[in-house]
Structure 1
Amino acid sequence: MKTQYKTLVVSDVHLGTKGSKAKEISRFLKQYTCENLILNGDIIDGWQLKKSGSWKRKHTRFFNRVLKMIENHNTKVYYLRGNHDDFLDQILPFQIGNLSIQKDMTYESYGKKYFVTHGDVFDSITTNLRWIAYLGDMGYTFLLWLNSVVNHYRIKRGLPYFSLSQYVKGKVKSAVSYIDQYEEELSKMAKAKGCDGIICGHIHKAENRIIDGIEYMNSGDWVETMSALAEDHEGNWQLIYYNEINFKEVHDDSLQQFFIGKPEATVIPMREVSFLKPKKDLEPPAISSTQ
């Protein structure tokens, strides 16, 4: 049985890299149905594929899962360009059937309007000093490699998973300052566009909070955090973390319902992070490109 949402947002999958959790996100998407799926940038890592990355079968399976969502549930898929998949600039905008590829978009739901963008357009380093951005990417790739080594030995000793890069981000003052500034600037942009909120990715830090009256939401990533944003059919938004889904319980409940004939849908256990109450009796959602 599947949990149904109106909209799911995922970003920063970085397919083509060793750190990409392609199997996990494919399994994640298999548990849910949704009317809208927003792939908010850096889904394919073109930077790494040009250097040392490689495309594997599990990366293809991710897109097979997305196509099945379109075919089986008539899901509308919006692929927004990120900085690592900037090769999409050559075909933007593009639409075929339920699949749309574009730079950014405006999402309207239950009387609220959200500006949806990957977020790199507001990153002056990525935009203006591209060579520094590449160096930063190399450093992050090294941290991910070192992180895998550290956790290999931690697992052997029965210790829980430890995110080295998240630890570094939290301790380095310049990184903390950058993240705070990033969130504030994107919230200002949403307000300038007359929107109630901003939905982004890019910095690999999942978040759902209010900044100066603007709903700031970041879907996180599928390299470490393995998180997504979800909107239910009442307009409430929440963060979902893959590591907190009890897949065994979902499987056992589904089998039990099959044998005893219960019609109820299985609700997948997850952590709820900040619900926002919508206005009632408003118009149905609408989605439009800002291009």
Structure 2
Amino acid sequence: MKTHFKTIIISDVHLGTKGSKAKEIARFLKQYRCENLILNGDIIDGWQLKKSGSWKRKHTRFFNRIIKMIENHKTNVVYLRGNHDDFLDQILPLQIGNLSIQTDMIYESHGKKYFITHGDVFDSITTNLRWIAYIGDVGYTFLLWLNRVVNHYRIKRGLPYFSLSQYIKGKVKSAVSYIDQYEEELAKMAKAKGCDGIICGHIHKAENRYIDGIHYLNSGDWVETMSALAEDEDSNWQLIYYNEIDFKSSANLHISSFFEGENEKNSDIIPLKQVSFDRNNDDQIEPPAFRS
């Protein structure tokens, strides 16, 4: 099992909400080393924290894990602003050691350029009609609650995790149409910026495909799909799903490598290569707004 990646991208963790899989993502990050970790928006759900959300110890552990990645492996961490963590507008841009907070970024690797943004810049509902977005947020919160109830009984019966909310969205024709349009618009923006691809989150739908020659990547979320994007040393991207990880084999790998010689111990760690992070200088694009 590969334990090292050049870059890992996660988004839509929604810490502060009941639906957030904080324990799972902390466990996920413990399995891997990476040179760059990009938190692509909606990591903290400020909207829910203002209403009925609560901050728990498991949410703090997520950031403790990131701090350990910085301290132990010198990981570069970039936190990009989403719509649910729009409170970051008060401090960005900010650079503290290996941690930077900003609106979006240009990522370069192996001669390819990717524009990375949370993605709500193209969500007209949350950009112009925030009160409608809040109503939608309430409905989505209920759907996630129902999702937890369903999976509680599925686990009792020995059945695997099932994302009810993803299933419902996949059946609703208007939602499917919205997602298709969303992906196409982001691909157009990447092309306009002279980039080879675009990396986003926001709609909680993990994806890795090409749209009119543009590499479209979506990291998914840690409320429903529990997925992340990972890039290896050869600039190959892949989606990793938490429910498909064999943690038992991973634990055995770490235990066996502990007793091996020093040279063998690090044999699964691929040498790091340089990745450049450049801020986007295009002032014509307004910063992302809001989304439920």
Q: TM-score when scaled to structure 1?
A: 0.91
Give the aligned length.
277
**Where do 5+ consecutive residues of structure 2 fail to align?**
282-292
Deviation per CA, 1:103-157, whole angstroms, max 9, x where unpaired? 0000011000000000011111110111111111111110010111122222333
CA distance in 2, matches of 1:178, 1:220: 16
CA distance in 2, matches of 1:236, 1:193: 22
Partner residue in 2 for 1:153? 153
Contact 2:11 2:39 in 1 (8 A): yes
By how many angstroms is 1:255 displaced?
Answer: 2.2
CA distance in 1, matches of 2:16, 2:43: 9
RMSD: 1.9
Partner residue in 1 for 2:279? 289
Residue aligned with 1:263, SS: helix
The one-letter amino acid of 2:226's match is M
Deviation per CA, 1:213-267, whole angstroms, max 9, x where unpaired? 0000000000111111011111111111111111111112332343465826587
Partner residue in 2 for 1:263? 264
The one-letter amino acid of 2:111's match is G
Are residue 56 (structure 1) and residue 69 (structure 2) matched? Answer: no
CA distance in 2, matches of 1:265, 1:204: 35
Partner residue in 2 for 1:10? 10
CA distance in 2, matches of 1:142, 1:217: 28
The one-letter amino acid of 1:11's match is S
CA distance in 2, matches of 1:112, 1:180: 24
The one-letter amino acid of 2:258's match is F
Are residue 254 (structure 1) and residue 244 (structure 2) matched? Answer: no
Partner residue in 2 for 1:272? none
Identity of aligned residues (%): 81
Using a 3 Å threshold, how does the CA distance of structure 1 residues 96 and 259 change in structure 2: closer, same or farther? Answer: closer
Contact 1:254 1:266 in 2 (8 A): no
By how many angstroms is 1:185 displaced?
Answer: 0.4
What is the 5 A alignment of 1:120-269? 120-259=120-259, 261=261, 263=264
CA distance in 2, matches of 1:248, 1:242: 13
What is the 5 A alignment of 1:112-127? 112-127=112-127
The one-letter amino acid of 2:39's match is L
By how many angstroms is 1:2 displaced?
Answer: 7.4
Contact 1:41 1:118 in 2 (8 A): yes
CA distance in 2, matches of 1:267, 1:223: 30
Runs of 4+ in 1 over 6 A off after TM superposition: none
Residue aligned with 1:239, SS: strand
CA distance in 2, matches of 1:251, 1:284: 29
Are residue 72 (structure 1) and residue 78 (structure 2) matched? Answer: no
Using a 3 Å threshold, how does the CA distance of structure 1 residues 7 and 223 change in structure 2: closer, same or farther? Answer: same
CA distance in 1, matches of 2:257, 2:89: 47
The one-letter amino acid of 2:121's match is V
Contact 2:78 2:100 in 1 (8 A): yes
**Where do 5+ consecutive residues of structure 1 fail to align?**
269-282
CA distance in 2, matches of 1:157, 1:247: 22
More displaced, 253-262 or 58-67?
253-262
The one-letter amino acid of 2:264's match is P
Partner residue in 1 for 2:37? 37
